[in-house]
Amino acid sequence: MKLGSAIPWALLLSTGEAGPDECGRVIKDTSGSISNTDRQKNLCTWTILMKPDQKVRMAIPYLNLACGKEYVEVFDGLLSGPSYGKLCAGAAIVFLSTSNTMTIKYNRISGNSSSPFLIYFYGSSPGSEY
């Protein structure tokens, strides 16, 4: 079953008019960015949902989180899908989904301060390199 047609109703119903950085948001924009503006939250997830014929291309220009205390995890699809790994540091990090969905999870150990990050995303059509 293609992931684009398997989005649970509860996930679709949670789509709101909130800003793109709000935790738990399903983002249906064709391009944009995500940052951790709500630094009070220890756990945040964002699900990026493109048109059925597109894939999600995600880029993290620079990541410098407190390794061992916080990380960003990128999933190919929903949270139940395969993980690209837990990231806390790096530069020029790029991922391409295998479907029209990608999920980003930010996790921080309670009591530790939050480090800023910025993630860019856009829809990539089949056959396009960029």
> Residue written as tokens 């047609």?
5
Residue 9 belongs to a domain: yes
What's the mean pLDDT in 10-14? 35
Res 15 pLDDT > 60: no
CATH of the domain at 81: 2.60.120.290
Which domain range does residue 84 map to? 3-123
> Residue written as tokens 């684009």?
4
Residue 62 belongs to a domain: yes
Residue 41 belongs to a domain: yes
CB under 8 Å to 100, separation ≥6 — which residues? Answer: 3, 4, 49, 50, 51, 52, 53, 54, 55, 56, 123
What does the block give as tokens for 61? 């220009």
pLDDT in tens, 39-78: 667 899 999 999 999 999 999 999 999 999 999 999 999 9
pLDDT at residue 1, rounded to an integer: 33
Residue 36 belongs to a domain: yes
Residue 77 belongs to a domain: yes
Q: Any idea what DSSP says for residue 94?
A: E
pLDDT in tens, 95-114: 999 999 999 999 999 888 88
How far apart (Å, rounded) are the C-alpha atoms in residues 99 and 22?
23
Domain count, the chain: 1
